[in-house]
Structures are given as structure tokens and as C-alpha cells.
Amino acid sequence: MNLPSKPLAGLKVVELGTLIAGPFASRICAEFGAEVVKVESPDGGDPLRKWRKLYEGTSLWWFVQARNKQSITLNLKHEAGREVLKKLLSEADILIENFRPGVLEKLGLGWDVLHALNPKLVMVRLSGFGQTGPMQDQPGFGAVGESMGGLRYITGFEDRPPVRTGISIGDSIAALWGVIGALMALRHREVNGGAGQVVDVALYEAIFAMMESMVPEFDVFGFIRERTGNIMPGITPSSIHTCADGKHIQIGANGDAIFQRFMRAIGRDDLAEAPDLADNAGRDARRDELYGVIDRWAASLPLSDVEAALVRAEVPASRIYSAEDMFKDPQFLAREMFLSAKLPDGKPFKMPGIVPKLSETPGSVEWTGPTLGEHNAQVLGTLGYSAEQIAALKAAGTI
């Protein structure tokens, strides 16, 4: 039986990234068949290897973020290290990097040099503020991008300071834009016969691009969207409610017919039939009243009963899932959102499944995050380095 090839099979990707944005972008490429070579410093490698919960000294996050990648070590301060990288890039389709702008240029590895070396190369550059503009040289993490891009300003409750979303979402969204840009550039190269190009993703712009109607609302009306907690102003009802057992549920009953079904399900036929609540504008005008009704109903029942009633009434809703909830959920399991893998000592563990689901050429996980420099001999060997040359590079501290 011939298994289908993955959609990115045949593509060669070199990653010069650390932590989140660059590595997440290349992880997606690796999951869908690209050959990804991750270049790390010989002095400890990607700091993500030591972030959050460690298992025998290595981050569990690392095993996920670096899956399907090959790890080589290169000291780019060494001329010999830069020469190895140039050989890699001369054969590559995509370079993904998230250094501060100017770092590669100082190493003699700027776009002009790399484009001349390999005119077909697509260079994805992920940075705090982009490769141009007055802030280009400033350091910027995802949290800064979320703040400058507008997300932090609108996240939280109106009577409290802004809050973060709970994950490094700015980095991850920037990574997604990076992959989208790379695929656009590859299509231009392969279908239109174009050359390689730079994909310039700024973290703050990656967030800014997600800010819905914020720009025209301010420009036309001078309206500034503020923090509103769990409700969606102008879209009613849609909020989080607390059940009798202290558990929480998100209910989205803002469709006209859905709202009517919901009100009947909770015994409020009067609200279901009220003419002024037949559309969203009318419901939003009575928002506080409606949320009070829903709050009292939810607070009178345990979460399981609230969920059951909403399922019967076909009202979109979800409990607020913890990881424990996900592990037991039939939908997660049916969609294979937990993959079985093994840690280096053979201990089994679960890692997140593949997104998106492709019907004909699905992605997969072939191996977990490698040890530092695990593929040095393999990768350098394919570049023409002999065993003696590889040993000399190691002795010199280049790898």
C-alpha cells in the first residue's frame, strides 16, 4: 500500500529560530512533510529546551515544538560555521529566522547575500517590529506585540488593568502569518516563475491584523473599543456563566432562532416571544436584564444539567475546558487530538495532534524534539563533509 506523500514533501526548510515564533512556524512545515533543519548554538541550543515543565532536564514543550525537525549545532561567529550555513541555504527553499533585525546582516548573512547565493530562497523574518521603521532595532517579544497590536488593551474587565490571554498568542499568530506568507511566496515562485523573496512579519502587526473592526470604528466614529470582560458588546447574549457547582460555561445564543430556543429551554417563553428581542439590536438594548436571567438559571443547576439542556435546545455552548477535561472528551479523542509518543527513556506521553486535518495528504509526527546536535553528522555528511572534517569542526567549537 502506497501512503500519500505529505503536501510539503520535497521542501527544505532551515530554521534559525529560538523559543516560539520561528520554531512554531517551522514545526508546522515539518508536520506536513518539509525537511526542517534547525540550527542551534552549540552552547545549550534553543532556550525552549529548558522552559516550563522539565522531564529529566528537558522541556516537555521542546519535544512538541521541535518534532520532526533535525537539530544541528553551528557557532555562527565562526567563519566555518557560516560556511556550513551557506551550504545549507544554497539548497534550501525556505529560511525561517527570528533574530533581532540586523543580526544576520552583521554576520554577513543579510538578504542581499542570501538572495545572490540562492535566488529561489524564501526568507521568513519574524521580529518584534519588522525590518523597517523607527522601532526596527528594538527587541520585542510576543507580549510586547500583543500590547502594541491592541490585544492587551481590550482583554480583561473594564474595572481592572489589562490581562494576558494565558498563552504566548502573539508569537503563535505571528508564526501562522509567517507560514502563510511563505506558502504565498512559494506559489509565486513555482506557478508564476518568480524569484524568492522576503516575508516580513512583525509581531505587533500580526496581532493588529486580527483586531476586527477596531480601525474603521475609530476612524469613522472616534470609538475606542474597551475591555468588557466576558461579554461581547453589540452581540447578545454571548458570555460565560457560573453553574451551581462553581463550574463555568460559555453560552453563545446570539442568533435570533437560537435565542428563542434558549429562552424556551429555560422556561422563559415570554422572552422568546417578546417582539423587541427578535433581533440582536433589541437584545443588546436589554443586555443586562438578559444576562441576569441567564446567570440565575445557570446558577440554579450543576454544569452537567446546564450542558444537557443546551444540547437538547441546540444552543452553542461549551464548558470552560481544562487539560483534564480535554483528555476525557469524546470529540478530542475522535479527532485524534492526542498523539501517543515516547520520551527518550521510553516513557509514553501524549502530545497535541495535527492541525489542520487534510483529507488526502495529512500531516503526522515522525519523531519528537531531537537532542542538541543529534543530526550533525547526518546533515553535514549530505553537504559533503567527511567524518574527519566534522570531527575538526567539533574540536574547534564550530559545531
Q: What percent of the chain has pLDDT over 70?
A: 99
CB 311 within 8 A of CB 305: no
Return the closest-CA partner of residue 319 out of 243, 235, 230, 231: 243
pLDDT tens-place string over residues 173-200: 999 999 999 999 999 999 999 999 999 9
* Residues whose CB falls within 8 Å of the CB of residue 193, separated by 6 or more in sequence, listed in order: none
* Residues whose CB falls within 8 Å of the CB of residue 355, separated by 6 or more in sequence, listed in order: none
Query: For residues 191 and 347, what is the distance between their CA atoms, to the nearest angstrom?
Result: 46
- Phi and psi, residue 5, nearest 5°: -75, 160
pLDDT tens-place string over residues 326-338: 999 999 999 999 9
Sign (positive/negative) of CA torsion 42, 81, 137, 117? Answer: negative
CB 117 within 8 A of CB 78: no
* Residues whose CB falls within 8 Å of the CB of residue 395, separated by 6 or more in sequence, listed in order: none
Local confidence band at 2 (pLDDT 50, 70, 90 cut-offs):
low
Report the pLDDT averaged over residues 357-367: 96
pLDDT tens-place string over residues 113-146: 999 999 999 999 999 999 999 999 999 999 999 9
pLDDT reported for residue 1: 41
Pairing of strands 317-319, 238-242: unpaired
**DSSP 8-state symbol, 222:** -
HEC readout, 359-396: CCCCCCCCCCCCCCCCCHHHHHHHCCCCHHHHHHHHHC
CATH superfamily of 238-319: formyl-coa transferase, domain 3 (3.30.1540.10)
Return the closest-CA partner of residue 48 out of 33, 32, 35, 67: 67
Q: What percent of the chain has pLDDT over 90?
A: 97
| 12-210+336-395 and 238-319 share one fold | no
Q: Which of 143-147, 233-237, 277-281, 391-395 has the lowest mean pLDDT?
A: 233-237
pLDDT tens-place string over residues 243-258: 999 999 999 999 999 9
Mean pLDDT over each residue of the chain, to the nearest integer: 96
Q: Which helix (H) or strand (E) holds 207?
A: helix 203-208
Q: Is the pLDDT of residue 3 over 80?
A: no
pLDDT reported for residue 369: 98
Q: Which entry of 43, 93, 137, 171 is annotated as an active-site residue? A: 171
For 12-210+336-395, the fitting CATH number among 3.40.50.360, 3.40.50.920, 3.40.50.10540, 3.40.50.2300 is 3.40.50.10540
Chain position carrying cell 489542520: 356
Helix (H, G, I), strand (E, B) or coil at 199: strand
Query: For residues 297 and 16, what is the distance between their CA atoms, to the nearest angstrom?
Result: 53
Domain residue ranges of the chain, discontinuous segments joined by +: 12-210+336-395, 238-319
Burial group, residue 95, by CB count within 10 angstroms (0-12, 13-18, 19+): buried
Query: For residues 307 and 278, what is the distance between their CA atoms, to the nearest angstrom?
Result: 24
Active site residue 345: no
Q: Is the pLDDT of residue 108 over 60?
A: yes
The CA-atom distances, in angstroms, between 98 and each of 140, 141, 302 are 11, 10, 47
Pairing of strands 248-252, 238-242: antiparallel
Return the closest-CA partner of residue 368 out of 98, 59, 74: 59
CB 66 within 8 A of CB 59: no
161-170 burial code (b ≥16 CB/10 A, e <16): eeebeeebbb
Angle (CA) 262 265 269, round 5°: 85
Query: For residues 292 and 304, what is the distance between their CA atoms, to the nearest angstrom?
Result: 20
pLDDT reported for residue 5: 87
pLDDT tens-place string over residues 296-355: 999 999 999 999 999 999 999 999 999 999 999 999 999 999 999 999 999 999 999 999
